[in-house]
């Protein structure tokens, strides 16, 4: 190889090294202090997820996501804001976090605020579990629908609005919410039902689904009068 070719090769190699050194790395924009903020978020997410698992994947309210807010094990250790040295709390300044719940409380977003930019942690109820619990909730409503028609056949009317309870339908096997494992109730939480008597011949019955919305309304079953039902059946 001639001296000229050797010089060209060395020059090309030197330029390659210069460009490689100048190329930005994937983590070049995250400072050491911001990484501490990110690590603090990972700890908080662990507390949030532990709560979710213990509560049928319904995640904690915003008021709980803080030191002393009631999350499991959170009193043992809570991250500090590396920029202030104080307990990390909710906010939008650097070293703080923003926590937001999704529809029905079955998902969340935890945003950690950096010196520049942010990092987001997310969690949600597994999609297959949503379908399973919605199906169970709808089956519960169908059971109550059947009970109401049998009640009407015996009492010549449907229960008054607000009075659909296990006591009203005494002797019947009351359905349990797939979200709590306890008896289904009238309310606004996932798996709860809403009942309204429209008249002596009609009613609407709905259940709260995993998307935080009410199901379609159910009414009397037209053929139930031809059926014979036994309490608890």
Q: Are 138 and 156 in contact (CB under 8 A)?
A: no
Written as six digits, the tokens of 56 are 């049928």
User: Is 90 exceeded by the pLDDT of residue 222?
Assistant: no
pLDDT in tens, 183-202: 999 999 999 999 999 988 89
pLDDT in tens, 134-185: 999 999 999 999 999 999 998 999 999 999 999 998 888 999 999 988 999 9
How does DSSP assign 29-69, residue by residue? TS-HHHHHHHHHHHHHHHHHHHHHHHTTTPPPPGGGSSTTS
User: Is 70 exceeded by the pLDDT of residue 26?
Assistant: no
What is the rounded CA–CA span in Å between residue 166 and residue 81? Answer: 50
What is the rounded CA–CA span in Å between residue 26 and residue 225? Answer: 69
What is the rounded CA–CA span in Å between residue 75 and residue 77? Answer: 6
pLDDT in tens, 80-100: 999 999 999 999 999 999 999
Kindly report the length of the chain.
233
Mean per-residue pLDDT, 111-134: 93
Instruction: Find the angle CA(118)-CA(82)-CA(71) to the nearest 5 degrees.
Output: 75
């Amino acid at each position: 190889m001639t001296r000229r070719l050797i010089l060209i090769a060395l020059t090309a190699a030197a330029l390659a090294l210069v460009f490689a050194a100048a190329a930005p790395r994937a983590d070049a924009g995250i400072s050491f202090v911001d990484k501490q903020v990110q690590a603090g978020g990972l700890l908080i997410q662990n507390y949030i997820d532990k709560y979710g698992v213990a509560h049928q994947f319904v995640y904690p309210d915003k008021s709980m996501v803080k030191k002393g807010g009631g999350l499991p094990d959170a009193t043992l250790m809570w991250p500090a804001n590396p920029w202030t040295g104080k307990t990390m709390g909710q906010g939008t300044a650097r070293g703080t976090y923003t926590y937001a719940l999704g529809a029905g409380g079955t998902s969340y977003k935890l945003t950690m605020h950096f010196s520049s930019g942010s990092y987001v942690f997310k969690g949600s109820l597994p999609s297959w579990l949503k379908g399973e619990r919605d199906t169970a909730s709808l089956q519960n409503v169908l059971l109550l629908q059947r009970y109401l028609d049998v009640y009407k056949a015996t009492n010549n009317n449907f229960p008054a609005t607000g009075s659909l309870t296990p006591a009203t339908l005494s002797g019947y096997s009351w359905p349990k919410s797939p979200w709590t494992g306890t008896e289904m109730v009238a309310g606004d939480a996932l798996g709860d039902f809403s009942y309204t008597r429209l008249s002596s011949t009609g009613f609407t019955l709905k259940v709260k689904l995993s998307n935080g919305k009410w199901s379609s309304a159910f009414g009397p079953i037209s053929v139930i009068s031809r059926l014979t039902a036994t309490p608890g059946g």
